[in-house]
Amino acid sequence: MSGAYAGGMEDVVVCDFCGRQAAASAALTWTTSVEGGRQKRFCDECSRTHLRAIEGKLDSDWW
Ligand SMILES: [Zn+2]
């Protein structure tokens, strides 16, 4: 957890593909991927849609 969202609120994570936001506790099933040394997160829907690309570790720029 980065702690970027201070103030007592639960951490919020954002899907790096569609921009969907969810509480960290609701995003446990999201997919995480490291691209170019930077961690990205993808929501359930994008994870399903792009499962092959994620598993192939293709850069999302090529999706
Ligand atoms: Zn998404």
Q: Which residue has the higher pLDDT, 16 or 63?
A: 16
Protein residues within 5 Å, CB atom, of ion ligand 1: 15, 17-18, 20, 43, 46
Q: Does the residue 24 lie in any domain?
A: yes
Residue 35: which pLDDT band, with cuts at 50, 70 and 90?
A: confident
Phi, psi (rounded to 5 degrees) for 24 = -55, -35
Better-scored residue on pLDDT, 52 or 23: 23
Instruction: Examine residue 1 and state whether it is found in any structural domain, yes or no.
Output: no
Ligand 1 center–CA 11 separation, angstroms: 17
Please name the helix (run of DSSP H) or strand (run of DSSP E) that holds residue 49, with its range, or none.
Answer: helix 44-49
Domain tally for the chain? Answer: 1
Q: What's the gap in Å between 45 CA and the centre of ligand 1?
A: 6
Is 37 a domain residue?
Answer: yes
Place of tokens 């506790």: 25
Range of the domain at 40: 12-58
State the residue for tokens 């969810």: 22
**pTM, entire model:** 0.64
63 within domain boundaries: no
Instruction: Quick: pLDDT tens for 8-27.
Output: 667 899 999 999 999 999 99
Q: What per-residue confidence (pLDDT) applies to 59?
A: 62
Cβ(10)–Cβ(16) under 8 Å?
no
Q: Which H or E element spans position 40?
A: strand 38-42
Cα(9) to ligand 1 centroid in Å equals: 22
